[in-house]
A = this chain, B = another copy of it.
């Protein structure tokens, strides 16, 4: 048993049991992969992959049972490599943050700025994607930290930590009838207008649907986008009433729009930080998290990482 063999197993699962792809991904020859896989199976005494003739078709039951152990071992190996790099006492390295657009655009910039001043030699990578994509990035090791409001909690292998709470705001053009109301906006008021808001699965969208649904109000979303900037643009074009995260609007910067609080209409949202359980993180990653959410110090985060 060696690391190479285990890597081949892991990659074979990721590549849909196509050893040719595995070889290509890991920059080696296909016969070599084939051989190593068989040798590992022989050494362990179990068939890991089910085969239709010569082709691999999937995992056998024992193979499936073994896979989590293989993944954990390879993760430990990775931890050793990462840890030893830091133990050289250097403050350089790489930090990959994966975030949804909203987070990357409105919540992270200040932290990123502060982080760069403190750790100028760490190269910072900011990936963007849907919450689901963020989870995938964490799981395959592409990202170290994910920040999103939805859907990170549904993976067993991920740990999530609450960062901050926020509510929605309504954005309208300057002459909109909603501004003439002498009372707080209601869901019924809103339902009378075409709405522009986030796509499903993004930035608290589900809470918006929930609110209208539980109030029994029919409503029309005429447009959806992944980010507040796009939404605001179309509100300016008078295509409808926008519902966005409060952090995404600012009376000073968005002078061509008017902002109404919607904190009383929709459920409070909690933005969460996602990490891969069991993963070792460099010191500067803990520092980043603490800069973002001061209560999440290294002790708290470590606890979450180790179950």
Contacts and interface: CB of A to CB of B under 8 A. Distances in A.
A266 interface: no
A62 B84 contact: yes
Q: How many copies does the complex hold?
A: 2
A276 to B, nearest CB: 16
A181 interface: no
Contact of A88 (B62, B70, B280): B62
A74 to B, nearest CB: 9
A35 interface: no
Interface size class on chain A is 20 to 34
A62 B69 CA distance: 27
B83 A69 contact: yes
A77 B70 CA distance: 8
A297 interface: no
A54 B83 CA distance: 26
Given A1-B77, A2-B3, A307-B306, A84 B72 contact: no
Contacts of A88: 45-46, 62
Given A3-B3, A44-B84, 17 more contacts: A1-B3, A1-B77, A1-B80, A44-B80, A45-B84, A45-B88, A46-B88, A62-B87, A66-B80, A66-B83, A66-B87, A69-B76, A69-B79, A69-B83, A76-B76, A306-B307, A307-B307
20 contacts: A1-B3, A1-B77, A1-B81, A2-B3, A44-B80, A44-B84, A45-B84, A46-B87, A46-B88, A62-B87, A62-B89, A65-B83, A66-B84, A66-B87, A69-B76, A69-B83, A70-B80, A73-B73, A73-B80, A76-B76
Q: Which 3 A-B pairs have the closest CB atoms?
A: A62-B87, A44-B84, A73-B76
